[in-house]
Amino acid sequence: MTDKDQTLFNEPGRAYEALGRIMHALRESHALNGAHSLDWWPALGGRSWEIEWQSGPFAPEAAEQVLRVDHDDDPAAPALRGVVRPGAVGNQHRAYLYVLDMPVTLRALTPVGANEWTRALSVGSHP
């Protein structure tokens, strides 16, 4: 890996803009409803972001919610319009996106799924 590859160190503004955009979109789209213990950190020597949570949705559910943010009336739309795209295929615990061409990994620890969270809310229990 060369210094040129280290986005966080050579282009910190773009790296932190990518993080801010995805975090804003995750919040405004409610993609992580039911999740707790949210954490994030730079990975791959500053060339990627890892975003992790417990409970809540499976990682592909959160990614799908973010990727659907594209219409004007959605509060998350300005953050990601034209700058987010899907990455490699993951599994129920990991999903991959690119934000401003920077890789972002969404990682769900002990997910219960969006449907289970919604069901639990409707019956008044917490998964």
pLDDT tens-digit readout, 71-96: 556 776 777 777 888 888 889 999 99
Which residue range(s) make up the domain with 86? 3-123
Amino acid occupying residue 13: G
pLDDT of amino acid 99: 93
pLDDT of amino acid 127: 56
Helix (H) or strand (E) holding 14: helix 12-28
Buried b (16+ CB within 10 A) or exposed e, 67-80: bebeeeebebeebb
Token readout for 95 is 């999903």
Say how far apart CA 40 and CA 45 lie, in whole Å: 14
Question: To which residue do tokens 């969404």 refer?
Answer: 106
Token readout for 48 is 């990627």
pLDDT of amino acid 2: 47
User: What is the count of structural domains for the chain?
Assistant: 1
Q: Is the pTM of this model over 0.95?
A: no
Length of the chain: 127
Averaging pLDDT over each range in 15-24, 67-76, 78-87, 108-117, which range is the top one?
A: 15-24
CATH number of the domain where residue 83 is located: 3.30.460
Stretch 103-117: mean pLDDT? 87
Contacts of 117 (CB under 8 A, 6+ apart): 33, 34, 55, 56, 57, 127
